[in-house]
Structure 1
């Protein structure tokens, strides 16, 4: 049986407790039988894989590869994954570049099947690079089964630094946020934006994100979140607003239940 993350409470308190015990918990999780079996198999076999077709044909290898990029839900979409991997990201019209979720492009670049010469699967250290990512994301998945908000916070801690320190132009960084569903959700909650605003034109969405970040976070570009302190402040803001929203839903539900319970006596005139 796999080790399950221990999260006695959620919200800000849960985040603090999680970080205080994270090293011990991740060590125990990484020793879980299924994690050890899957990562050992990947590290032993991936060096023999030279084509995308070989990867998608081996369900155990593909499970680790997709899990390392948060794409485990696509395990049964072999045709899609094979096409993404084979087309690469060099051409603007490559499938990975046309999909709104940037995780497909990151998967494609990591394996390099479309690049000249041998793929990155043959490089020394590649297998460990992928299995390290897999362990981290699998822990986040297990954490999400206990508390989805804490999973999103962990994902943000990992992904946000990669974006804000990328050196890309400010708008490109925002588009990467918008193309990463878990990160996008965190920003929407932290900035108090309704999910429905995602139906707006993409440029209007960009302007809305930038304006909200400037007025609420006091930042002009995402690079302002590069410091560990500012990044942690942002995560705590997300957790606080998410917790408040949860309390409001619970309170509304309690009020509705009270009204329903009192309805018979009201109709009886008592």
Structure 2
């Protein structure tokens, strides 16, 4: 029987437990026989893959490749994925550059089919690079099976420092957050923004995100989340609000069920 990550509590208390036990839990999870078989297959086969067509033709390889970037849901969208890979990111009008979710661009860059005459699959350290990301993503998916908020928090913890350090304007970094469904969800929840927020014009969304950041952190830059304290404050606020919203929804559901039972009993008594 394979190991599943243990998250016994919700909210920030659960996050604190997960962080304390992270290394031992990850080590145990990575002994999963299915995970090891996927890794062995990827190592054995990826060096022979020199085109995007060859990659999407091997469903098992493609599943690992996409999984490393959190794009597993696209494993059957082979025409779309092939186009993302073959276009690369250096050409004007490349598909990956047009997509709001920048994980597609990262995926295309990592494999290099559309950008270089020799793809990066031919590099000796390529399997290690992809499999490290794959193991991390699979662990996060497994955590998400117990608690979806924890999965988003893990994603944000990993991606925010990298984004903060990129050579982009601060507005460009905020737009990247808006284009990343997991990061957007974390910030919208942490800032207490309503579900209708995403329907606003992008410039209005940018204004409100920066305004909320100033109020909560004292500054409106994304770069500040390279600081561990600022990042942890964001995640704490996200997890507390997420847990509260989940509890309120649960109570509403229980209340509706109780009311339905009561009404049925009253109707039966007539």
What's the TM-score, normalizing by structure 1? 0.94
Please tell me whether the aligned partners of residues 85 and 108 of structure 2 are also in contact (alpha carbons under 8 angstroms).
yes
Question: How far 1:264 sits from its partner (Å)?
Answer: 6.4
Q: What SS class does the counterpart of residue 21 from structure 2 fall into?
A: helix
What's the TM-score, normalizing by structure 2? 0.94
Counterpart of 2:21 in structure 1 is: 21
* 1:83 maps onto 2:83 in alignment: yes
Deviations 1:154-180 (A, max 9, x none): 111111111011131101101111111
Whole-angstrom CA distance in 2 between matches of 1:2 and 1:80: 33
Q: What SS class does the counterpart of residue 229 from structure 1 fall into?
A: helix
Deviations 1:230-267 (A, max 9, x none): 11111111000111111222233344344444446878
Deviations 1:15-43 (A, max 9, x none): 11111111111111111011000011111
Q: What SS class does the counterpart of residue 157 from structure 1 fall into?
A: helix
* 1:172 maps onto 2:172 in alignment: yes
Counterpart of 1:209 in structure 2 is: 209
Counterpart of 1:2 in structure 2 is: 2
* 1:225 maps onto 2:201 in alignment: no
Runs of 5+ unmatched residues, structure 1: none
Mapping of residues 258-269 of structure 1, within 5 Å: 258-263=258-263
Whole-angstrom CA distance in 2 between matches of 1:25 and 1:214: 36
Deviations 1:48-90 (A, max 9, x none): 1111111111111101100000000000001000000000111
Q: What's the C-alpha RMSD, in Å, of the aligned pairs?
A: 1.9
Runs of 5+ unmatched residues, structure 2: none
Counterpart of 2:65 in structure 1 is: 65
C-alpha spacing 1:266/1:48, structure 2 compared with 1 (3 Å)? closer
> Is the deviation greater in 80-89 or in 226-235?
226-235
Counterpart of 1:141 in structure 2 is: 141
